[in-house]
Structure 1
């Protein structure tokens, strides 16, 4: 029997198990089609997607405008490398920098690549602009961070599953508790070799931890005071996911970032990925102003695919969809409804301790130990009932549907979640 004839789920799972590296532990669902908020498996069963490819598909699966941009550009020119100019990159660079309020972009492909790029820019800035002695620059990060899985990034992770047996590790990082402004200030006061502070405005992979309302504003002020770069990793939280264009925009859900708003804490370096392309093509970006970005000269950093015309066309279309369809406003409104309805249920629940989140990035904490299978079992039951989500950190289930969801669909999803959880009540 040929590979193409093996179209049932069990056979396809077996193929991956036999021929693919075992670096993921997926739910046993084999998807073959997606549209908007829905995905279908190879047997034809429809599900609500409540993960959105870890927030890469904010604009919904196979959005026609984004797909059309991909197809049209793919029939014209896909890749030149940066050895030559192409006719799409410049207009995309102007569009995205204006959209997010920065002077320059360095285009890359994946979130981890973008984080690595930001770290390199930060260190080079520290030596050439701030005047730190070479090889002395240190970057502050947070406990329970998730910025990717490259060797450098896992070096400052405290996730032992991601770190163990991958050393030796990269030096130059100081880890402090998340959402602890005093810990940040203590390091900045007592260490003169700090180049930057890298932080997720909301820690998604750690379980959707939302910091204190004043945290990012205080971070911004401290970084300015000590001449340290504030680096915001918005790979997962950006592009309208949390009810504003960026999570650092605070409570704003307007059509653009609001530098005049007290809630907007503009980072010195902004890292974007995932939904920049609506999940259609790998695109990431590092944005900063000229004073920072000008430290990068020809030959010092780059990527064969970074800034290719296909990526530029797709990302432009994907970002236009965010505005055209008011996705930030929709995420803010539906997220509030989602948390209200689940909080009503939790009041009488013995299995769910709390719900937390912002916009349509939310999580429930299961009343069990991190090494239990309860959260996984609940996700299996939700899949059986037509909704796909995944646990993170053992006893936490993350919920991040496409932002094109409407209220009727959201209410149906809440019913599925509650129905599934009820079967585990003690």
Structure 2
């Protein structure tokens, strides 16, 4: 169950009326692509947000792993304030110095040689798919390229990326889907080997494998080291591109700057978005030089890489270094998992497992109990903590990377109290 669908299970929460906000007026004019949580948020500071009624919440959603530095961080506020007064948008018809500086920083802090900028994770993944297809046609001479993706994956909402997404619920009523994708179970190397062999008929063959280092929407499921090492080996042996979707796990979320660093491998192409500019829309598709086959006119983005977004992203990336936030992510992640495991031990009939890396963690509920992730999210809201589902049975914890020890303890206590309501 996606976060925008889960709110349908929260019938007892209502948006309180206020002088400057009316949810009925909102719903009158805004398309109903989201079933929204019944809270109208109007300001934030650090890891806290306030609604239009003045109620305070501890934000362990962070715009779904997006507000890297939390809310109103001084480094981001200063940067965007200065940049909007200087130059916020021009066009990629010209050189954009801020874009060049961000690309340099990303290349120097990753395995990539080149970067392409866009506006979102879906666009970044779309770019990766297009790059892989052009590489297949122009370098590999493959007429019908196939990209393998994992079941339970999530890669975006464009037509190509929902096809790449291995979850039928996101594809319903949007067929015919894009050709050229096949699905394999995640963390199952035998399935990869079988698929590569079965799909190779000379004219048609696997040219890329597109995976998340950790599946976010699929239930916060980390990749297994042996699996990714073997996938990398297979790609090298057979001339297959390895694409990693780092949209949710990149930019420090796992305690390392990139999720692939947890797996001992390097991708050929990888994507970033969500946390890259701390909430300012941006996406990036990065690759190694050997597969950089785009030429002028092959791909573009009007807003991608504009001065405003790139300045914000560079400020976020530099702040991760200057404030030593990766260390904080590692420590707070351990603290959070320890607390959640204590909850699991206290309520073994309710909680099945706790898993994750850094500050992307999931608490999975027992399959046989009727309790859902939506129920826990609803109860946590009442306790003043915002959480987000990752499917019907997994509660996701993705706070800002600046979260403090005290805030982690507050969240743990609130979740324990929330679950106790269902199983005293």
Q: TM-score, normalised by structure 1?
A: 0.91
State the shift of 1:306 in Å.
0.9
| Pair 1:357–1:66, CA change in 2 (3 A) | same
Q: Which runs of 5+ in 1 are unaligned?
A: 1-5, 251-262
Contact 2:150 2:166 in 1 (8 A): no
Partner SS, residue 137 of structure 1: strand
- Is 2:272 aligned against 1:272? yes
Q: Which moved more, 1:201-210 or 1:321-330?
A: 321-330
Give the CA deviation at 1:236: 0.1
C-alpha distance 89-361 of structure 1, shift in aligned 2 (>3 A) = same
After TM superposition, the structure 1 = structure 2 runs for residues 18-417 of structure 1, keeping only pairs within 5 Å, are: 18-133=28-143, 136-192=144-200, 193-250=205-262, 263-279=263-279, 281-293=280-292, 295-349=293-347, 350-368=349-367, 374-417=372-415
Paired residues in the alignment total: 404
CA shift for structure 1 position 11 = 4.8
C-alpha distance 18-44 of structure 1, shift in aligned 2 (>3 A): same
- Comparing 145-154 with 349-358, greater Cα deviation is found at 349-358
Q: How far does residue 9 in structure 1 lie from its aligned partner after superposition?
A: 9.0
The whole-number CA distance in structure 2 between the counterparts of 1:306 and 1:156 is 22
**Would you say the 8 A contact 2:220–2:390 is kept in 1?**
no
Asked if the contact 1:141/1:156 (under 8 Å) is kept, the reply is: yes
Preserved CA contact (<8 Å) 1:207 1:393: yes
Counterpart-to-counterpart distance in 2, 1:374 and 1:92: 41
Query: Conserved in 2, the CA contact under 8 Å of 1:36 and 1:63?
Result: yes
Inter-partner Cα distance in structure 1 for 2:411 and 2:27: 31
Q: Retained in 2: the 8 A contact 1:238–1:245? A: yes
Cα distance in 2 for residues equivalent to 1:394 and 1:229: 33
Q: Alpha-carbon deviation of 1:337? A: 1.7
Distance 1:202 1:142, change over 3 A: same
Q: Deviations over 1:361-405 (max 9, x none)?
A: 1111123569x5642222122111110012232122111111101
Which 5+ residue runs of structure 2 have no aligned equivalent? 1-15
Q: Is the 8 A contact 1:353 1:366 kept in 2?
A: yes
Q: Whole-Å Cα distance in 1 between the matches of residues 387 and 167 of structure 2?
A: 21
User: For the aligned residues, what is the CA RMSD?
Assistant: 1.9
Cα pair 1:373 1:394 within 8 Å, conserved = no
SS of 2:215's partner is: coil
Q: TM-score, with normalisation over the residues of structure 2?
A: 0.91
Q: Distance in 2 between matches of 1:328 and 1:311?
A: 22
Query: Is the CA contact 2:208–2:240 (under 8 Å) kept in the aligned structure 1?
Result: yes
- Segment of structure 1 superposing worse, 137-146 or 375-384: 375-384
After superposition, what is the alpha-carbon deviation per residue over 1:135-194, rounded to whole angstroms, capped at 9, x for unaligned? x11100000110011111222434333211111110001100011011112222343311
Question: Are the aligned partners of 1:89 and 1:309 in contact in 2 as well (CA < 8 Å)?
Answer: yes
Residues 243-284 of structure 1: per-residue CA shift (max 9 Å, x gap) = 11111101xxxxxxxxxxxx53110001011111011x1111
Relative to structure 1, the CA distance from residue 364 to residue 9 in structure 2 (aligned partners, 3 Å threshold; closer, same or farther) is: farther
State the SS of the aligned residue for 1:198.
strand
C-alpha distance in 2 between matches for 1:118 and 1:369: 39
1:244 and 1:399 mapped to 2: Cα distance? 17
Q: Is the 8 A contact 1:368 1:374 kept in 2?
A: no
